Structure 1
Amino acid sequence: MKRLALALLLALSTPAAADALYFSAIPDDDETRLIARFSKVADYLSAQLGVEVKYVPVKDYAASIAAFRNDQIQLAWFGGLTGVQARAAVPGARAIAQGEEDQAFVTYFIANAATGLQPSDDFPAAIAGHSFTFGAETSTSGRLMPEYWIREKTGQAPSDLFSQVGYSGDHGQTLRLVASGAYDVGALNYTVYDKAVAENAPEVANTRVLWQTPSYPDYNWTIRGDVDARFGEGFADRVQAALVGMTDPALLDSFPRKAFVPASNDLYAPIEKTARDLDIID
């Protein structure tokens, strides 16, 4: 048993082999959805790049950053904040693509219908005193930006404004918790909620969108700076071209995104500043 544990520890701490490109993604939705989505993306990238591409699932947001830092993965689909954190940990890493929608992303504040809370064009001040759940603690759309706007609009920390504050771990779980009444109000990625509406998910009947935040830059594909040395000069640019060139509606809809567009580290400076202002990163 000790030998097996040691072998697993060594495997997890060893950089990925150079004969394949490994990638992962923040686990912002149900694991089964993510595996189905990214296994198809791996097949697409393998065909475009002429290199075996493998998807590596991770258990949480922190694990995705750790895997990138430790060279267990060389490419990742990060949120705005996790991308900033990962690039800071790996010199030379760069954001290479974002969804068309990620140029102006928003968070929805949703409420259980039984609360009687109503949609508003302005920040919904009536959520004060209710229970509230964020998503993952390092989620851009599920924690960073909603907390920023809560503080900006009320002058209070979430722990002071709400009767109870939780962290669901992912956007799908936020929707389920609010729909069930476990929490009165929550904040989540707008694409997850819109997709639930489009699929007529049962949780939608018990929830309503109260407010959406002003827009901000969010999800991004980030690649390590040493991939050219590993796979050949210009490889990072080829990966960028393959992502931007993804046109299969089935692949894009699984994100869901209309298209991917080029991105750069500079686009995420506002996310970094907000995270520093909230003391989420140093």
Structure 2
Amino acid sequence: MIPRLFAALLLTALPLAAAAQDTLYFSAIPDEDETRLAERFGAVAEYLSEELDVPVQFVPVKSYPAAVTAFRNDQVQLAWFGGLSGVQARLLVDGARAIAQGDEDTSFVSYFIAHTDTGLERSDDFPDAARGMSFTFGAKTSTSGRLMPEYGIRENTGEAPEEFFSRVGFSGDHSQTLRLVASGAWQVGALNFTVYDQAVADGAPEIETAKVIWQTPPYPDYNWTIRGDVDARWGEGFADRVQAALIGMDDPDLLAAFPRNAFIAAENDDYAPIEQVARELDLLE
């Protein structure tokens, strides 16, 4: 009788013990369509859960600032940030550190694209002929969709975007920038090169009317950033285990969803150039 009672109590306690185990929550800047993000990061959550032996859950957010806020408030402990949002998050959370980046993120670029009706052609030189046209960035705090394109405009023209272009807007994300320029709603726009290249690989119809006309010089961009208190919660060396799991991610389907060829180690100092430019443009508090 006693053994049966003990067994029953044990079985009852198991779900409680599992529920009590801390879940690692992570998020990502919403740089593309929400459906695509959910597919990408749902699979990543499963992979990390298996590698780390802890529950892992993806938490979607609606904006770049929301991703930073969730990280600051400990609603997520790990995040896939852009260069600027990563800098913002690490400045807000003591001990937070960049732990991984895509192999491509050491030398990232932004594309300037234009509707074919503008007559603008691809060149190594900044497109001065775009003066007076309409222009859209991506999200307001996007590294590849706003920060570095704006820096490129100012460096090459000596003017603010609002002075060089007739009208300036923010589409919200890279996919939307491509759609809006392709439709002619905006004549010129700036976006993440991987999003455009993926559209080319997919044979997306937008590439028929939205063509690359210029690209920025390279800069460091996306990164996985983790809070500084995760070792206290999940055990000594947990942050290093997460880093190893990300760097060890070699499933082509997982990597293609980013898209990245591989993840490599990263550290905060890698993003010093991004912080410097953000301060020059007054985009950091």
Aligned to 2:7: none
Q: Secondary structure at the match of 1:274?
A: helix
Structure 1 residue 52: Cα displacement: 0.4
Aligned to 1:146: 149
Structure 1 residue 207: Cα displacement: 1.1
Aligned to 1:125: 128
Structure 1 residue 259: Cα displacement: 0.1
CA contact (8 A) 2:139 2:172 kept: yes
- TM-score by length of structure 2 reads 0.93
Aligned to 1:52: 55
Distance 1:147 1:60 in 2: 20
Task: Give the % identical residues.
Answer: 71
Distance 2:210 2:139 in 1: 20
Larger radius of gyration: 2
Aligned to 1:61: 64
1:151 counterpart letter in structure 2: R
CA deviations on 1:169-194 (whole Å, 9 max, x unpaired) are 00000000000000000000000000
Instruction: For 1:64-143, list aligned pairs within 5 A.
Output: 64-143=67-146
CA deviations on 1:28-47 (whole Å, 9 max, x unpaired) are 00000000000000000000
Instruction: For 1:240-279, list aligned pairs within 5 A.
Output: 240-279=243-282
1:46 counterpart letter in structure 2: S
CA contact (8 A) 1:20 1:52 kept: yes
1:192 counterpart letter in structure 2: V
Aligned to 1:22: 25
Runs ≥4 residues deviating over 2 A? none
CA contact (8 A) 1:18 1:231 kept: no
Confirm whether residue 159 of structure 1 aligns to residue 154 of structure 2: no
- TM-score by length of structure 1 reads 0.94
Aligned to 1:11: none
Structure 1 residue 114: Cα displacement: 1.0
1:24 counterpart letter in structure 2: S
Distance 1:66 1:279 in 2: 19
CA contact (8 A) 1:110 1:207 kept: yes
CA deviations on 1:130-178 (whole Å, 9 max, x unpaired) are 0000000000000000000100000000011111000000000000000
Aligned to 2:237: 234
Q: Secondary structure at the match of 1:87?
A: helix
Q: Structure 2: which 5+ residue stretches go unaligned?
A: 1-19
Structure 1 residue 18: Cα displacement: 6.2
CA contact (8 A) 1:18 1:230 kept: no
Distance 2:21 2:97 in 1: 19
Q: Structure 1: which 5+ residue stretches go unaligned?
A: 1-16
Distance 1:127 1:279 in 2: 25
